Structure 1
Amino acid sequence: MRDTHIRRSSSLVLAASALGLAFAAPVAWANDAAERLTERLDPLENYQATFEQQILDGGGERLQSARGEMWLSRPGMLRWEVDAPYTQIVVSDGEEVYLYDPDLEQVTVQAMDDRVTHTPALLLSGSSNNITASYDVFHEQQDGADVFTLIPISADTLFEELSMVFDDQTLTELWMMDSTGQRTSIMFSDIIRNGNVDRSLYDFDIPEGTDVIREGL
């Protein structure tokens, strides 16, 4: 039987994941890099994609892999569905975040506080001004792609370094490294920017008979 703690913590990093295979040293000054990142994020109203995720330990050994689909819309709305190797769903309606595990018949509900909104996926659904105010931003080009590396100004975050990879205006990868050296990589495909997204995707009705755990509410 899978360890419940591992599944719950990895899935918020999942809805919240991204992570750092060591990019080369950033080369653009922070102010210039923040402006460049803002230029890419400001036009983003919604985003949907399929994803492949891997979590690696500090030595590069793979600890976990997963795949699924995600949708986000501004402000603060997210749906993150893990299809394999097991099913999990994370939904944010802009006020609360629901982490649902069908196998365990359990849903965890959290308020949209600062720590939760600084998880990578929800970070993208927020204001670009908040991002550039909360992180030192650096930029470089690798193999024709734009790589933006974010270093948190505050210590109260789920990651120590986050990188966003853009092909022209489109986000294609996220990389994240946490304080333990654990790294998460997420690669996106079948990407649609600013398409038609059904807002009901961000509504979550708790299934009958499900155990509800409320944190910070």
Structure 2
Amino acid sequence: MKLLCLAAALALTGVAAHADSVDTLREFSRDVRTARADFTQTVTSPDGAKKKVSSGTFEFARPNRFRFAYRKPFEQLIVSDGKKVWLHDPDLNQVSIRAFDQALGATPAALLSGGGLERDFELSVLPARDGLDWVKAVPRTKGGGVETLQIGFKGRQLAALEIVDAFGQRSLMQFAELATNFAAVDATYRFVPPAGADVVEQPR
């Protein structure tokens, strides 16, 4: 996927310090209308033995428009205009198209770019780790393949997103060079299949 305890003496301090992480996510959802960043994604198998690393760029414009562009080790593009989601695999010259509401559900892209944060996810505070403040987001609707998401903030800035799927596979996305609230370009969130591509549109 192309998603903890403090010592008793520090418990009250820890709760006070990290209670703001859920509020930070709420503020991010409310105040950040557009964002783009570079990302590195590390996918770890359930037994922790195998890891795959990929990288690329991510951009979104609320509501529900986003663009994931994987660059390494293989190119892949995932684009949504809020109505449809296109997945383009250049190596196979194949494009898959799905309706937005069928493709997203309670997924990381929906969490970051959508408008239904509290409606779609149950939020709770996690202790800080790796220099970040973390929020746990559990999808309210089961069956979408995502078990839990964890969102890490450095101060008020989005820094990481960790996903655990239904099979126990863990995917950590780390963000860099984050820019927010720039003017959205509509063409960024539209996709025209290249000539000769094998196009498969999933029925509703």
TM-score (norm: length of structure 2): 0.86
Indicate the SS of the match to 1:113: helix
Q: Which runs of 4+ in 1 moved over 3 A?
A: 25-28, 31-36
- Give the one of 12, 21, 27 matched to 1:39: 27
- The answer (yes or no) to whether the contact 1:49–1:188 under 8 Å persists in 2 is yes
- The answer (yes or no) to whether the contact 1:115–1:158 under 8 Å persists in 2 is no
Distance 1:199 1:34 in 2: 30
Partner of 1:187: 174
Indicate the SS of the match to 2:168: coil
Q: Which runs of 5+ in 2 are unaligned?
A: 7-13
Distance 1:62 1:160 in 2: 20
- The answer (yes or no) to whether the contact 2:35–2:180 under 8 Å persists in 1 is yes
Q: Does 1:124 align with 2:112?
A: yes
Distance 2:136 2:153 in 1: 11
Distance 1:166 1:190 in 2: 14
Distance 1:39 1:195 in 2: 17
Distance 2:167 2:50 in 1: 15
Q: Point out the more displaced range, 103-112 or 56-65.
A: 56-65
Partner of 1:71: 59
Query: Which of structures 1 and 2 has the bigger CA Rg?
Result: 2
Identity of aligned residues (%): 28
Q: CA deviation at 1:34?
A: 5.2
Partner of 1:136: 122
Distance 1:118 1:154 in 2: 7
Partner of 1:163: 150
TM-score (norm: length of structure 1): 0.81
Partner of 1:61: 49
- The answer (yes or no) to whether the contact 1:46–1:195 under 8 Å persists in 2 is yes
Q: Which runs of 5+ in 1 are unaligned?
A: 1-9, 12-17, 19-23
Partner of 2:87: 99
> Which residue identity is paired with 1:49?
A
Residues paired across the two proteins, number: 193
- Give the one of 93, 100, 104 matched to 1:112: 100
Distance 1:43 1:53 in 2: 25
RMSD: 2.2
